[in-house]
A and B are shown apart, each in its own frame.
Chain A
């Protein structure tokens, strides 16, 4: 019986070491990448935001906040800034992450996007464009924002390139919210971390 106890003891140690050292406690749901190949090399991948259903939050001095109790700090430094948070979808419409869009107006204005895909990593997009009313662009007009893919993390580490942001607004829903979608088209190449 002593040998049986020792055998169990060794099994217990081995099993616990395996669990603590190799068992995948964190196993995020990973959907296949829907990237393509660009004609001049590199990879393309588009991401989409459905409006209004994918908007999680929005705040700025010039817009009604979502949720209504959300507000920015007092002070002139926050007068020209608008923050938006969205669920992010792949080209086929599956939710793959969350994305923030921060636009600062005025002199030296800019727009930054952070695309955060938990199972894959993040893409950092920056542009000197800061259109205060991207939803007002007519269908078929020039892209609202063009800029650079500055860097990435995880699976996107070492990728740089360019991106284009298009708002395709079809009208307003029954509650008065803008209805349509935002498309972010990225073209990236691996330039090393």
Chain B
């Protein structure tokens, strides 16, 4: 019996060493990428600018409005949809953004990759619309905000945490922007989302943060779709 206890103690200690190493991994502290030269910047506040938020029932954040139907199907697990009012650099309302996100199969804690596949459809007043395909890494957020809130007695974290979310799928760690209409029709480009978090309350299921989406739109890459006959 004492050999069994010795073996189990070794397993527990070995597991703890790896988990501690994964948690402290200094190479996965922030999502860093080369600077982007954006042609468009939009901002949103997670509390005041979220017009709608729907997610699967086990989601740690609250639905908005609270009467909205949940995404209850098994194929929609770990998925959220948000409708956000977007603001320009001057703080004026500039449009709407729909953001879809789901946990990625490529998530690997060993390499500090808590990955989320996210997609934006952005509509800017008097300018047009575009889509953004991005891969986000929430590991720095989880390490810097979520875990401290989970460990706190009042299940709340307050402070200042700022980091890029986007780490792909572009080679430079940027998302891919595809224009749809207006001045963005036919345009391809890059995009990056960053999040500056002020507080997270797991008890109230409320995240207070400022999000920023930068878009560097390039030259038209596809033909004007108005001439296409499906």
B-contact bits for A33-59, CB 8 A (1 contact / 0 none): 000000000000000000000001101
Could you list 26 examples of A-B contacts with CB < 8 Å?
Answer: A5-B7, A5-B9, A8-B6, A12-B12, A16-B14, A17-B18, A17-B110, A21-B109, A21-B110, A26-B78, A28-B105, A56-B54, A57-B54, A70-B51, A72-B85, A73-B93, A77-B125, A83-B96, A100-B98, A104-B129, A104-B181, A108-B181, A118-B102, A122-B117, A124-B133, A128-B181
Contact residues of B between 61 and 95, Cβ < 8 Å to A: 65, 67-69, 71, 73-79, 81, 83, 85, 93-95
Q: Are A153 and B117 in contact (CB under 8 A)?
A: yes
Number of chain B residues whose Cβ lies closer than 8 Å to a Cβ of chain A: 73
Q: Are B51 and A59 in contact (CB under 8 A)?
A: yes
Shortest A20–chain B CB gap in Å is 4
Contact among A4, A7, A72, A117 for B51, CB-based, below 8 A = A72
Known A-B contacts: A4-B6, A87-B73. Give 10 more (CB < 8 A): A9-B11, A10-B10, A10-B14, A16-B18, A25-B107, A26-B104, A78-B93, A102-B121, A126-B129, A150-B225
Q: Which residue of A lies closest to B119 (CB)?
A: A122
B39: chain A residues within 8 A (beta carbon): none
Top 9 closest pairs, chain A to chain B, by CB: A12-B14, A8-B10, A77-B125, A162-B230, A16-B18, A21-B110, A126-B180, A9-B10, A20-B110
Number of chain A residues whose Cβ lies closer than 8 Å to a Cβ of chain B: 82
Q: Are A15 and B15 in contact (CB under 8 A)?
A: yes
Contact residues of B between 211 and 230, Cβ < 8 Å to A: 222, 225-226, 228-230
Task: Decide yes or no whether B108 CB sits under 8 A from chain A.
Answer: yes
Binds B, one of A90-98, A133-141, A167-175: A90-98
Complex CA distance for A92 and B187, rounded to whole angstroms: 35
Task: Decide yes or no whether B178 CB sits under 8 A from chain A.
Answer: yes
Contact among B19, B65, B78, B182 for A28, CB-based, below 8 A = B78
> A8-B9, A77-B126, A122-B100 are contacts. A29–B77 as well, Cβ < 8 Å?
yes
> A5-B10, A20-B22, A97-B76 are contacts. A110–B180 as well, Cβ < 8 Å?
yes
Q: Which residue of A lies closest to B115 (CB)?
A: A26
Q: Are A9 and B14 in contact (CB under 8 A)?
A: yes
Q: Are B13 and A12 in contact (CB under 8 A)?
A: yes
Task: Decide yes or no whether A178 CB sits under 8 A from chain B.
Answer: no
Q: Are B79 and A26 in contact (CB under 8 A)?
A: no
> A20-B109, A28-B105 are contacts. A110–B129 as well, Cβ < 8 Å?
yes
Q: Are B105 and A26 in contact (CB under 8 A)?
A: yes
Q: Which residue of A lies closest to B112 (CB)?
A: A20
Chain B residues at the A interface, C-beta cutoff of 8 Å: 2-3, 6-19, 22, 51-52, 54, 65, 67-69, 71, 73-79, 81, 83, 85, 93-96, 98, 100, 102-105, 107-111, 117, 119, 121, 123, 125-126, 128-129, 131, 133, 169, 176, 178-182, 222, 225-226, 228-230
Q: Are B131 and A67 in contact (CB under 8 A)?
A: no
Q: Are A21 and B108 in contact (CB under 8 A)?
A: yes
Q: Are A153 and B119 in contact (CB under 8 A)?
A: yes
Contact among A70, A112, A118, A119 for B181, CB-based, below 8 A = A112
Q: Is the interface of A mostly helix, strand, loop or mixed?
A: mixed
> A85-B54, A124-B121 are contacts. A69–B100 as well, Cβ < 8 Å?
no
Q: Are A8 and B8 in contact (CB under 8 A)?
A: yes
Q: Are A100 and B111 in contact (CB under 8 A)?
A: no
Complex CA distance for A122 and B83, rounded to whole angstroms: 17
